Structures are given as C-alpha cells and as structure tokens.
Amino acid sequence: MNSFTTQSSCADTNELGSLSAQQALNNMLQAIDEKAGDELVPLTEAVDRILAEPIRSTIDVPAHRNSAVDGYAIMQDDLAKADQLSSLLVIGQVVAGHPEHSPLQLGQAIQIMTGAKMPNNADTVIMQEHVKRDGQTICFDARHRAGQNVRQAGEDIQRGEVVLAAGIKLSPAQIGLIASLGRAEIRVKAALSVALFSTGDEILNIGEAPREACIYDSNRYSLSAALRKLGCKVLDMGIIPDHPEQLREAFQLAAANADIIFTSGGVSVGEADYTKQILAETGQVDFWKVAIKPGRPIAFGHIDEAVFFGLPGNPVAVMVTFYQFALPCLEKLMGLSQPLLHPSIEVKCSQPIAKRVGRTEIQRGILSQQLDGSWQVKTAGKQGSGILRSMSEANAFIILQHERGPVKADEYVTVQTFSGLF
C-alpha cells in the first residue's frame, strides 16, 4: 500500500508538536525583561504613561484643617444639649484662601465657606442649612456632633507618604492626585520603539490600484493602531517583498532602530516564505505551532537586542495573537507593575458552538445585557481567520479553553471584553 506524510495544520484533529496557548505565553514571558530607560515629562503630558519612580508627598493634603461645607465654625463646647437650642454670636466670615487669624471664643461663631481654613480654637462646623440666623446671631438644635464637617490636615495624604508606586499606568485621576502635591514634572518609563512590517508579494499598500491575486494590507494598520494606543513609538517599514536580501536588510534595520519587531505573514509553511531562513541567520528565533484557533503559527525570539514577534498573516489571527500573546509581553517590557485590566466574565452563550478538546479557540463575540439585567454572548458572524468584518462588529472574545469541548446553548463561557484591549 502506498503512503505519504503530511505536515500538521490547524485543521487537524490532533496537532502534533503544538504548544498550548498558556505554554506559549509562559515561554515568551520567561524570555523577556523590562526595557530600561526613563524620561522627565511635564505632568500635562503624562496621562497613560508608566510611572518610573514612586511619588512621595512633600506636603500634607489638605495642608490645613478646613471646612467640608458652607456653614458656621464653632467650638464643640457650644454644641446644643439634648432638647435644647444653642445661640451664638457671629463675629466674622472666612473664605477659602483668606484665613481668619483671630481665635474663636466660647459663645461665638464664624461663618465659613467650603475649603476655608478653620479658625483657631474652632473644631466643628454647622451646615448653613441647619442654622437659623437673625442678624448677627445663629441658633441651632442638638442634632450635631463634635468635629463634624471638618477635614483634618493630612487627612487625604500625609507628608512623606508614598501615594503612587512605580510601574503604574497613569490615569486622569492619578494625574490630578500628583497635581494636588504641586508637582509640575514627573519621571516616566521611556516609550517602547517598535518596528513593524508586513511580508509577501501578494500584499498591496492602501492607495495602490488593485491587482489580480493581491490583497490590501490591513495587518500593519491594525497592529500600528494597537501599538500606538499602548503608547509605543512605531516605525512603519511598509511591505517587504518575498526576497531574501530585502528581508535581511529589513530585519537588520529594524533591530538597529527598535526595541521590538513585529511582522505579519511568512511564519507558516510555504515555499515562498523566506522569513524563517533569514531569521535563522540573523537572530535566535523559535517557530511554534500553538494549539490555538485562529493563530496557530507564531514566531518569537530575539534579533540582536530586539524582541521579535512573528505573527500569522490572516487579519483576525494577527489581532487574536497580538492581544493574547504580544500584549502581556509588551506590558512586561514596558515595566507595568500591574497588567492592564482585561475584564473576563462568565456568561451564558445563546447558541451552540462547535469546539474540540486539545486547543484554545477564540471566537469573536457580541456581549449584550438582557432586560432582566443578565448578560449573554453570541458569536459575531462567520469566524474565519480572514474575516475582519466580524472582528470589527464584535465587542468581546469568547475564550474556549484548551480542554473544553463543544458548547451547548445556554452554557456558560468565558468572555474577555474589549474594554481595556481596544
């Protein structure tokens, strides 16, 4: 009987020699370290940057005791006793930025505005809505307690306290927190530089006239957008044809000018794919079959000092492998102490999904909230790795784990929302 041997593919029932998705990610993370470097930037330009050093307060916040409301500052000994009223003489007014230096005496009150410094001896504020005023006299009942409506010095932040740890991605609220300390500049991690190109004679630049058997390059644009959103500096090297010398020059140029290199295409089985050959000559790169759909062929390693990611050529496979593998690595390379939030929840799937045990499958899904408040997910149309439209219409990944089999309607599945990813 005649026989012949074939190479495994993502369509095979048993993908021999494939790494699980988790194994592949673990291997990548173990092989990389944070890229060194930081820079001093104005606070106004620091949002979404990664903090390079702890922020320690040099002041108390608030800097002084102040009123939390508009009302009347008094001494607690003048609070009304049960079933009685207290009547006090108003001797003045204090507003924010203009402190009152005269100490308060028993039987007296000072009208005070929100944020204004508390007068000496005053320790309690009565809201103006709870006071009856007649000329220079106020009257209030016994509902009030000592120390109310007063913000203490250092109540929010104490002098010398570390308020923000290094390695966090700065949010608008954290920018405001730093501003409250009087800081005009802060030190942040230097942005990663990323070289990016696509490979293949069949790839067209947008704007070119259509040609038979060719397709427009979408991968560079989706990857560039994702990288820029992360704050990376992107060196777009365009499309490199399937020519050994041009590929070699591209890799050498990329390694000399970038911390990280991304390519799409040229890492799967194919007679015209010279990427493997060139990378074997110029770097230390492994080519993996990962038990994941879409995105089975992945290359990863180093070219000189640059980290290299070789992603598949299909548009959806590029995006899936970027977010499942490259993004966690980029977070480590950027020096993030805590990964970005990629919310994952368990929700009912409204339809059956075919799935076999032995590989991770990532479907594009549409997550929606029902009238009763519950959440459910359905697939976003056709799931082929070249169908980018369903990716653009989705708002979540449906993660079907390595050991999971087929999904029945109304079974729970893991959903990773695009919030925090896109």
First to last CA, the chain: 54
Cis omega (within 30 of 0) on the bond before 294?
yes
Q: How many CA atoms lie within 13 A of 72 on its CB side?
A: 29
250 pLDDT higher than 70: yes
Q: Per-residue pLDDT tens for 150-172? A: 999 999 889 999 999 999 999 99
CA gap 245, 227 in Å, rounded: 27
- The architecture in CATH of the region 21-37+191-334 reads 3-Layer(aba) Sandwich (3.40)
Is there a contact between 73 and 118 (Cβ–Cβ < 8 Å)? yes
CA gap 10, 298 in Å, rounded: 12
Is there a contact between 71 and 127 (Cβ–Cβ < 8 Å)? yes
Is there a contact between 416 and 343 (Cβ–Cβ < 8 Å)? yes
Bridge partners (DSSP) of residue 327 are none
12 pLDDT higher than 60: no
Q: How many CB atoms lie within 10 A of CB 287?
A: 16
Nearest CA-CA partner of 312 in 325, 296, 301, 300: 296
Cis omega (within 30 of 0) on the bond before 244?
no
Q: Per-residue pLDDT tens for 331-381? A: 999 999 877 767 789 999 999 999 989 999 999 999 999 999 999 999 998
Domain ranges of the chain: 21-37+191-334, 40-61+167-189, 66-151, 344-417
**C-alpha gyration radius of the chain:** 31
Give the DSSP H/E element, type plus range, for residue 363. strand 360-369
Q: How many CB atoms lie within 10 A of CB 172?
A: 9
Token pair for 223? 């990857």
Q: What percent helix, strand, coil does the chain show, rounded to 5?
A: 20, 30, 45
Token pair for 40? 């001093």
User: Which of 85-99, 194-208, 264-278 shows the lowest mean pLDDT across its residues?
Assistant: 264-278
Q: What is the pLDDT of residue 9?
A: 46
In three-state secondary structure terms, 61 is strand
- Place domain 66-151 in its CATH homologous superfamily: Molybdopterin biosynthesis moea protein, domain 3. (2.170.190.11)
Q: What is the pLDDT of residue 335?
A: 93
CA–chain centroid gap for 104, Å, is 51
Higher pLDDT, 43 or 356: 43
280 pLDDT higher than 90: no
Nearest CA-CA partner of 367 in 385, 344, 387: 344
CATH of domain 40-61+167-189: 3.90.105.10
189 pLDDT higher than 80: yes
Strands 260-264 and 306-311: parallel
Q: What is the pLDDT of residue 186?
A: 97
Mean pLDDT score of the chain, rounded to an integer? Answer: 89
Contacts of 127 (CB under 8 A, 6+ apart): 69, 70, 71, 149
Q: Per-residue pLDDT tens for 72-107? A: 999 999 999 998 999 999 999 999 888 877 889 999
Q: What is the pLDDT of residue 13?
A: 44
399 pLDDT higher than 90: yes
Amino acid residing at 189: K
Token pair for 26? 């673990």
CA distances from 300 to 55, 57, 101, 120, 264 (A): 36, 42, 68, 67, 12
Amino acid residing at 348: K
pLDDT band at 386 (very low <50, low <70, confident <90, very high): low
Token pair for 263? 């390519």
The predicted model scores a pTM of 0.81
Q: What is the pLDDT of residue 216?
A: 83
Place of tokens 């045990």: 357
Token pair for 229? 């959103």
**Topology of 344-417 in CATH?**
Beta-clip (2.40.340)
Q: What is the pLDDT of residue 271?
A: 42
